[in-house]
Amino acid sequence: MRARALEVGSSSQWAESLALRPFGKGIKMESADQSNVSVEVQTLRTWIGECKPGRMVFFGGAGVSTESGIPDFRSPDGLYAQKYGDVPPEEMISRTFFDRNPQMFYEFYFDRMIARDALPNRAHRKLAELEAQGTLSAVVTQNIDGLHQLAGSKTVWELHGSVLRNYCMGCGAAYDLDAITELHEQASDGVPRCPKCGQIVKPDVVLYEEGLDSHVLEESIKAIRRADLLVIAGTSLAVYPAAGLIDYFQGDHVAIVNLAPTPRDRFANLCVAGKVGEVFDF
């Protein structure tokens, strides 16, 4: 299961040497049209440009949506302790907590995890364009905001589900984000309940302690296995099993785009210390 290409391939030794340089010290290129772009960014764009049709896969995390104003639910602010006491954010969105305290779960969920006005950013738009052109075969994402689809992407494997889909735990009736928000606002305890059967309506989001959807997982692995170029972006690659998916890659080039170093940087052919939106702004 170990991917050979993750152990840096001979075809990209020069890129490997780039990846080994310290973060944040990109050499500025002197070319006419991309003068403000580091050599790492230019290399990645070249790889994307040269990628065979359907052979690029993008694997993204929270950093892809930062520019769209999606809040990071893991960074408690000053108000957090007042409102939620000592319960850490990760516990708040666990299945145990959901079952035991749906009222506080939904307060946290609508407060911290929903950004109704968020719009796709430069990265979402470029990825949709690359798919339309035929280069990109799939987006595999840890995000639950639905912004890739809003930008026009068609093949999006959402490892952690989506806030846009919600289902009644009793009868299975489907509710979109507007509908569940309305049910939340109408309920005296804030817990959205199905008007048809009275059971709780639950977001189609994978909570801690819950397994990933096996179909989504299989399709993500298939896409990654078939890819020549894998771009991993905006993720610290800390969350398993999602992060383990990249081990299935057997292609030529792995690039990691992230502001901070990740534990997998040494397996990549290229590391870009930058904002995802800037890197994909071309």
Taking the least distance from each CB to Zn ion, the nearer of 192 and 234 is 192
Catalytic (active-site) positions = 160
Q: Give the separation between CA 136 and CA 149, rounded to whole angstroms.
A: 14
From 20, 96, 196, 238, residue interacting with Zn ion (rule: CB under 5 A): 196
Site for Zn ion in 29-48 (CB under 5 A): none
Contact region with Zn ion (CB under 5 A), list: 21-29, 83-91, 112-120, 188-196? 188-196
| Per CB under 5 A, 183 contacts Zn ion | no
C-alpha dist (Å) from residue 148 to 60, 246, 271? 10, 20, 23
Q: How many residues bind Zn ion (CB under 5 A)?
A: 8
Q: CB of residue 48 vs Zn ion: minimum separation in angstroms?
A: 45
In the complex, the smallest distance separating the C-beta of residue 200 from Zn ion, rounded to whole angstroms, is 9
157/175 with CB nearer Zn ion: 175
Q: How many other CB atoms are there within 10 angstroms of residue 279's CB atom?
A: 24
Q: Which is nearer to Zn ion, 183 or 206 (CB)?
A: 183
Q: Does 171 bind Zn ion (CB under 5 A)?
A: yes
- Residue from 156, 168, 206, 257 touching Zn ion (CB under 5 A): that is 168
Residue selected from 89, 170, 190, 261 as contacting Zn ion according to rule CB under 5 A: 170
Stretches 40-48, 145-153, 171-179, 217-225: which one binds Zn ion (CB under 5 A)?
A: 171-179
Residues binding Zn ion (CB under 5 A) = 168, 170-171, 173, 194, 196-197, 199
